[in-house]
A and B are shown apart, each in its own frame.
Chain A
């Protein structure tokens, strides 16, 4: 009885739970097919047909991969720290899925007389939340590498941690410029502002470039996949992992990719904003369908970014470690600082009624 007397909005709770379930399962499903897309893109860029045996056009390949992963023997090395060993992949997966909570997946829909926002939680510090969760993702690598009790894995974990720290700096600095333009930390507000005016990419091309490069580094994608460098570190932090624990690590990488694409789309490319169309006006004509179109638009933007990630991966080799650090500290951070200062100056001038 005490619970009921707390005056909780039960319908809101159910609505949010449904939304969480949809978003989580949708991102898992998309991640499943991103692995397939990765292999197809790799194949096509290398003049191969890619997986085409399982089902029509090879569309059942991810399921076959999943079955394979699940039926493999699950080995925990005797010298490994058992609980941390299990915790590592779980943490990597949780952290990558947690990001989806603050991303605005679409506008609002009207159902049963309620206005439902297609954003799980529009917290006013959305971007800080994303940063916190992304930093948490490094723990997955760190703990996995440490618990394996293997020198290669430990080296990979160290690399992963130092890389993530160096690139998070530049990422944060390039984000500050966006925040100065929008004056809000809430992702929902940032997208709404872009819906009304120009997309942020128009004001922040350099910022976007830096953010994109740092996103590559944060996702451990080529050319920044040093933590899993198979030629020198034997697959790095997931060397000792097998079965679905390995699957979780690989899967977390793809979910990270989707989430960072969604964040990039929201911050710089108008999020769910349908280009060249006044969404608010459309809403009066089409109602709930607009939200669906908006979700579709965001998904198209995400798919574009994922393709870009893959395109880069299958074009260039991995950086050397010193190149990685030089690029991060001597190029990205100074550029991000200059970008931040120029943006700050322009925003100040505009606030003081300068016209340009």
Chain B
């Protein structure tokens, strides 16, 4: 029968010779191999200090975006919630009152916006569904928590800091520095 690969080796069941039964030569060969690993480069990344860069297409935690003037982009249309296959998004809409034009860009805004990070599968369909470019998936992931409530992220967790009043925090949230 023709061998499937060029590296196929017939099983050898010959009784071991005396030298083989002492195992010394084979152990020595193994020890040379392990010794050579002393000089190899260690692939470890010292995690909390050094972080592995994510791929630019990585889909992590959600961010609710603001426009250049620092107004919330979300208009609470609910398309993200409809698009969400895991049904992780809930929101409550409210009407913008006179004098709140500097807070919300559209006439309707999300008074409550919650994403359950335990349900979320980070597919990014909300990002694609959003007509206002209001929701984005960042390059971070949800930190551990002791109770389930901690994984329900509200607006206070999701909303990006205001670029006009807190430019540094915004830049950090965008991962620019």
A interface, CB within 8 angstroms of B: 44-49, 209, 311-312, 314-316, 326-327, 330-331
Contacts and interface: CB of A to CB of B under 8 A. Distances in A.
A45 B37 contact: yes
Contacts of A312: 27, 31
Given A327-B21, A327-B22, A311 B42 contact: no
B35 interface: yes
Contacts of B24: 209
25 contacts: A44-B37, A44-B38, A45-B35, A45-B38, A46-B37, A47-B37, A47-B40, A47-B41, A47-B42, A49-B42, A49-B44, A49-B46, A209-B24, A311-B34, A314-B34, A316-B27, A316-B30, A326-B21, A327-B21, A327-B22, A327-B23, A330-B21, A331-B18, A331-B21, A331-B22
Contacts of B99: none
A49 B38 CA distance: 10
A331 B17 CA distance: 11
B53 interface: no
B43 interface: yes
A326 to B, nearest CB: 7
Interface in B37-56: 37-38, 40-44, 46
A130 B24 CA distance: 27
Interface residues of B, number: 19
Contacts of B33: 315
Contacts of B22: 327, 331
B107 to A, nearest CB: 54
Contacts of A326: 21
Contacts of B43: 47
The CB with the most chain B CB atoms within 10 A, among A47, A49, A209, A327, is that of: A47
A327 B76 CA distance: 77
A48 B22 CA distance: 31
The CB with the most chain A CB atoms within 10 A, among B34, B38, B44, is that of: B34
Given A312-B27, A316-B27, A331-B22, A45 B42 contact: no
B37 to A, nearest CB: 5
Nearest to B41: A47
A315 B23 CA distance: 13
B11 to A, nearest CB: 19
A48 B40 CA distance: 10
A45 B44 contact: no
A46 B43 CA distance: 11
Q: Which 6 A-B pairs have the closest CB atoms?
A: A315-B34, A315-B30, A45-B34, A315-B31, A49-B44, A47-B42
Nearest to A311: B31
Contacts of A331: 18, 21-22
B133 to A, nearest CB: 43
A49 B40 CA distance: 11
A84 to B, nearest CB: 36
Contacts of B23: 327
A350 B22 CA distance: 31
Nearest to B31: A315
Given A44-B37, A209-B24, A331-B22, 19 more contacts: A44-B38, A45-B35, A47-B37, A47-B40, A47-B41, A47-B43, A48-B42, A48-B44, A49-B44, A49-B46, A311-B35, A312-B31, A315-B27, A315-B33, A315-B34, A316-B27, A316-B30, A327-B23, A330-B21
